[in-house]
Amino acid sequence: MKLNLTRRDVLKFGGGAAVGVALTPAPWKTLDDVAIWSQNWSWIPRPPQGPSSIHDTTCALCTAGCAAQARCIGTLPVSMRTANEAAPLCPLGLTAHHLPYHPARIARSFRVIRAEDGIRRIPVPLDTVISAAVTAMAGARGTTASVAVLDTRPGRSTSWAWQRLLGGIPNGIYIPAPGREGANLTSLREIIGSGDAIGFDLENVRTILSFRAPIASGWGSRRMNEAIRDGKVRLIQVDAVRTQTADIAQRWLPAKPGSEAALAYGIANVLMSGNAATPDSTYASYTAEAVAAISGVPGDAIVATARELAENGPALVVMDEGFGRQTEDAIHGLNVMLRNAAIVPRAELPAPYADATLAPVAEMDRVPDGSIAALIVDASAGDVRFPWPVVRRKLRKDAVVIAIAPFFAASVQRADYVVPALTALETISELPTPFDAPAARLSIAPALLAPRHEAVDPAAFVRAIARAAHLELPGDWSKSEELTRARVAAIHSDRIGSVTARDGSSKKVTEFASADELWDALTKGGVWNGDTAARSFRAKPRPAISNMKTSPPLVALVRTPRDVTASAAVSPVMTKLYQESGLRRPVHAATVNPVTANQLKLANGAKATLRTEAGAAGVVIVTDHAVMPGVVEVTAAPDAIALGEPANGSGAGIIDLFAPDANGAWRIAAARLVEA
């Protein structure tokens, strides 16, 4: 039989076969296999493999020094976890092991050349940087100009080394970073005329009046938050925004930004009116009604707050940074008036070497404008976010700025010369007394990871500058670890305080046979606590401000959350909070009340320009009823560089729109917001 194969037959066969195959498992199996193969491409990252171990350490990213445990695979830390539930790790601490690999790491020393299209980094040997520093120091000699070190982590042994180096130079000034936590306590020390450091006895506080201090989001411990939630501690929060802290507070006083001093005087007036023994007319004009008109806080709430402070003591008055001296004086005046038993003087940590030739310490706002010829920024141990104009106005036009830091991000980008430093986990980190501790404290985080880059030890940098400038420094040390060991030896020889081990046991310093034994205890997670010497103080508040300010129509307010601004760079997985969810406002968000947005004819999500006296920046409008009408809230959130995007920024951030006023206040600024 002859087979007549027609074109139609071929097409029928092909079509039938195609339909038939589709009905078999073959295509689905192929798809399935492709799905499996595509899970295993060579470029898919592979986690490290090896033996697992747990190491006790201390989070060194901010000054709190929370106890932590690092899980390591071989010698590589792969996770961080809380070791003390009373002081849990924040998102920054939980991701600390990512930071050594951050794209913003500085691999070698370089000079920064600024051009219109951005900045260029020209690699230079370390000797060139040291020569630049020494030349600037020599240039300042015989003039009124000063040589300054700005330290973002004061209190370390290396801080002492800087102070000692500057002590050998005419006009040397040591400046703790502006905006750091506890900077405002300088005003309190000046009021009470005390040279002692000041801490808080939070264990015994019953009422806290907080002027914008972020107690629930970074500043307070878990125990404090629980005490507030359980009503054991009463929290009164003053803030123009309903923040997380305002949410847990028993009372929220929504005061207009800039009216905090008047509010403090209003509370002081009520306190004084109840004290017939010491009448004071200074505050007489700050009646509850007058202050209510300025601040927007109802008069009866002002009276009730004052009564609560007086009757439910010990009461503590705290504040965020950047309010400026006048407001700091007014607010700390309340602490003085309350004869505050919750504020305790404390001893400083022993210096590594006994030597009196230390440079004077000055807050940045006390330094004369245009007086600094050379500024060395030591950001090797962490960062503090402050507006660069705070520093810029203090610099001479030809000033040289040198920075030593692990990341080329935030204010380090403003430097002329940059020197690489190691990150936490790569080097031993010293954690000196946190600003709020009632007694001196020291903990030490051991190095867990081999350094990935050639870096300069900050103490070695001090030593190299001293050598080049022909300055003698006491002691035989060449790196930070040796200086810290000298400090531990000083603690051991002073025979004061005790060490609390990770298991909760305590051992007096006198029980340690040698300084090496004490060092071992500290590097294994132990915390040294000095002795407390609580005493109350007596002093008079400073004179009141002469006039009551009224707020401008639109006020911009900047936040600097500790758990992201303590490091110039953060883990890239922080995008989960800032970019991939609406949990935290990104750096370009300007949050306003919908009423304000309507008045300005700006819709939610609109692009706008935020303008202050110091400059302008592009923002995206976010409307939120939590913000007081007439206020624009912005956050010094991590920018693209800080989050790990390769970029070439100038270092200018939204925080730089907040130039300081004559009092050093920079947290708020009169602003304009217009559609872009």
Partner 1 sequence: MSTEIKPKSRFGMVIDLDRCNGCGACAAACAVENNVPPARAKVNDRTGLTWMRVYRAVNGKPFPDNRAVYFPISCQHCGEHTPCVSVCPQNAVDVNPETGVVSQIPVRCLGCRYCMAACPFHARYFNWYDPEWPHEMENALNPDVSVRMRGVVEKCNFCHSRWQAAVAKAAAAGNKEIDPADYVPACVEACPEKAIVFGNLDDPKSEVAKQSKAPNAFRLLAKLGTDPKVTYRSDREWVRRLGDTDVARTESEASRG
Rounded distance, CA 265 to CA 240, Å? 18
Alpha-carbon distance of 528 to 430, in angstroms, equals 12
Among residues 4, 281, 546, 581, the one that binds partner 1 under rule CB under 8 A:
581
- Minimum gap (Å) between residue 100 Cβ and partner 1: 8
For position 392 contacting partner 1 by CB under 8 A, the verdict is: no
CB of 573 to partner 1, least distance (A): 4
114 binds partner 1 (CB under 8 A): no
Q: How far apart are CA 618 and CA 652, in angstroms?
A: 12
Task: Rule CB under 8 A: choose which of 15, 48, 118, 274 binds partner 1.
Answer: 48
Interactions with partner 1, residue window 539-568 (CB under 8 A) = 563
Whether the CB-CB separation of 637 and 622 falls below 8 Å is answered with no
Considering only residues 447 through 506, tell me which ones interact with partner 1, judged by CB under 8 A. Answer: 452
Of 156, 542, 584, 667, which lies in the binding site for partner 1, with binding defined by CB under 8 A? 584
- Reference 615, options 675, 672, 553, 664; nearest CA is 672
State the minimum distance, in angstroms, from the CB of residue 65 to partner 1: 15
CB of 644 to partner 1, least distance (A): 5
For 152, 157, 195, 249, the CA distances from 183, given in Å and listed in that order, are: 11, 19, 14, 24
Q: Does 232 bind partner 1 (CB under 8 A)?
A: no
Query: Residue 3 or 450: which CB sits closer to partner 1?
Result: 450
Q: Which residues contact 216 (CB under 8 A, 6 or more apart)?
A: 225, 228, 243, 244, 245, 247, 248
Closer to partner 1 by Cβ: residue 613 or 645 = 645
Kindly tell me which of 29 and 339 has the beta carbon lying closer to partner 1.
Answer: 29
| CB contact at 8 A, 99 and 383 | no
Residues from 25 through 44 that contact partner 1 (CB under 8 A): 31-32, 35-36, 38-41, 43-44
User: Nearest distance from residue 571's CB to partner 1, in Å?
Assistant: 7
Residues 66-95 that bind partner 1 (CB under 8 A): 73, 76-82, 85, 88-91, 94-95
Contact pick of 97, 153, 234, 479 for partner 1 (by CB under 8 A): 97
Per DSSP, the three-state class of 275 is coil
CB of 593 to partner 1, least distance (A): 6
Among 155, 182, 199, 254, binds partner 1 (CB under 8 A): 254
Q: Are 658 and 614 in contact (CB under 8 A)?
A: yes
Q: Per CB under 8 A, does 98 bind partner 1?
A: yes
Distances (CA, A) of 19 to 5, 24, 25, 32, 299: 21, 9, 12, 19, 82
Of 324, 345, 382, 644, the one binding partner 1 by CB under 8 A:
644
Peptide bond preceding 314 in cis form (omega within 30 of 0): yes
DSSP structural state of residue 424: B
Q: Does residue number 618 form part of the binding site for partner 1 (CB under 8 A)?
A: no
Q: Which of 211, 252, 477, 537 binds partner 1 (CB under 8 A)?
A: 252
How far apart CA 573 and CA 63 sit, in angstroms, is 22
Across-strand partners of 405?
Answer: 420
Total residues contacting partner 1 by CB under 8 A comes to 81
Among 370, 475, 552, 629, binds partner 1 (CB under 8 A): 629
Task: Provide the 8-state DSSP code for 350.
Answer: P
Tell me 98's DSSP state.
G
